[in-house]
Amino acid sequence: MNKNLIVSSADEKYFQLLKELYNSTLNLKYVSFAVLDCGLSDESKRYFIDKNIEIFEPDWEFEIPSYKIRGRNYLKAQFSRFYLEKYFPGYENYIWIDSDAWISCNDTFDYYIQGSNKTGFAITPQIDRASSRLINIKWFMNFPTKINSINFKNISKSISKNLAKKYAGHFTLNAGCFAYNYKFSGMKAIRENLKKASQKGRVFGTDQVALAISLFENNLEFELLPAYCNWLCEHHMPKFSVEKNKFVEPFIPNHNIGVMHLAGLDEDRKTKIFHKIKTTDDKILEKTLRYSI
């Protein structure tokens, strides 16, 4: 049995993306794969069952008001991603990856496991030299009238305006990919913050609120990984190295990207769109951002 487990989830709408993520993991001999079923069809579940991949339908973990759910069972993953050992016991490191992401470089992806073993929790902040805008502020004459940041918006709705102001300018932790060790004591605080945030705020984004409060307010120790470990293509297109046959970060040293993440790119998630991608030797290639064999 492997010591490391990758877990993702999907409803039927995201089945093809989930399948692509799974196929991108097949060369990782030291990692197993499992699925949380948030609305897959019987046929789609059979695809994974036939490959001896464990599938479980997750719980809500704690009581969520029905008016917040409105039949959107895929939102269970906002919570169950922090309870992976409950569904798949026996592993040392649990790695969560959203189904709209896939592993592009095994060696870079391994930093998640290294970080989990070293510190107990490894995650990538949404901050990088390729993403110039850190916070969106609206001005009237010389005075700021509105602060738009993920932390400010989500924390103000879920916890309080005062705490939102305190961390409005802090970076966001991207909950679409992270790893934790089964011995990590900080999971208790994360789960408590998760429950607290879910009672007042909206369900979507609760995970990022819990992580922000756990890191900045509770001072938990996380292993913070560089942006090329979880590359948000929405923020800045990657480059491609023909020599290495890998997507890489757009500036030197053009490090291999570990996880390609399509969050925010709705059309790319629906179908394989081909983009004009610049190569490291200044050529242009027509390539899809999605996993392809």
A 10 A CB-CB count for 122 gives: 26
The answer to whether position 219 is within a domain reads: no
* One domain for residues 91 and 28: yes
Together in a domain, 42 and 8: yes
Over residues 117-154, the pLDDT tens digits come to 999 999 999 998 887 777 777 777 777 777 777 888 88
Using 50, 70 and 90 to split pLDDT, how confident is the model at 227?
Answer: very high
Residue 221 lies in a domain: no
In whole numbers, what is the pLDDT of the chain averaged over residues? 92
**Looking at the domain assignment, is residue 276 inside a domain?**
yes
**pLDDT > 90 in the chain, percent:** 71
Please give the average per-residue pLDDT across 58-82, as a whole number: 83
Total domains in the fold of the chain: 3
Residue 201 inside a domain? The answer is: no
* Structural domain contains residue 216: no
- Residues making up the chain, counted from first to last: 293
User: What's the predicted TM-score (pTM) here?
Assistant: 0.93
Which of 28-32, 92-96, 126-130, 214-218 is the least confident region?
126-130
Same domain, 110 and 143: no
Question: Do residues 178 and 275 share a domain?
Answer: no
Residue 58: per-residue pLDDT: 93
CATH of residue 121: 3.90.550.10
Note whether residue 182 is domain-resident.
Answer: yes
- What's residue 88's pLDDT? 97
Side chain identity at residue 73, one-letter code:
N
Same domain, 49 and 120: yes
Count of CB atoms situated within 10 Å of the CB of 28: 18
Write down the pLDDT at residue 201. Answer: 66
What domain range includes position 245? 228-288
Q: Residue 94: beta bridge partners?
A: 5, 180
pLDDT confidence tier of residue 1, bands split at 50, 70 and 90: low
Task: Please tell me the least confidently modeled range out of 85-99, 154-168, 219-233, 269-283.
Answer: 154-168
Looking at the fold, whether 177 and 232 belong to one and the same domain comes out as no
Residue 111 lies in a domain: yes
Is residue 162 domain-shared with residue 241, that is, in the same domain? no
- Between 34 and 171, the more confident residue is 34
**Residues 121, 156 within the same domain:** no
Q: What is the pLDDT of residue 48?
A: 97
In-domain check, residue 202: no
The pLDDT tens digits for 170-196 are 888 999 999 999 999 999 999 999 998
Contact 149, 268 (CB under 8 A): no
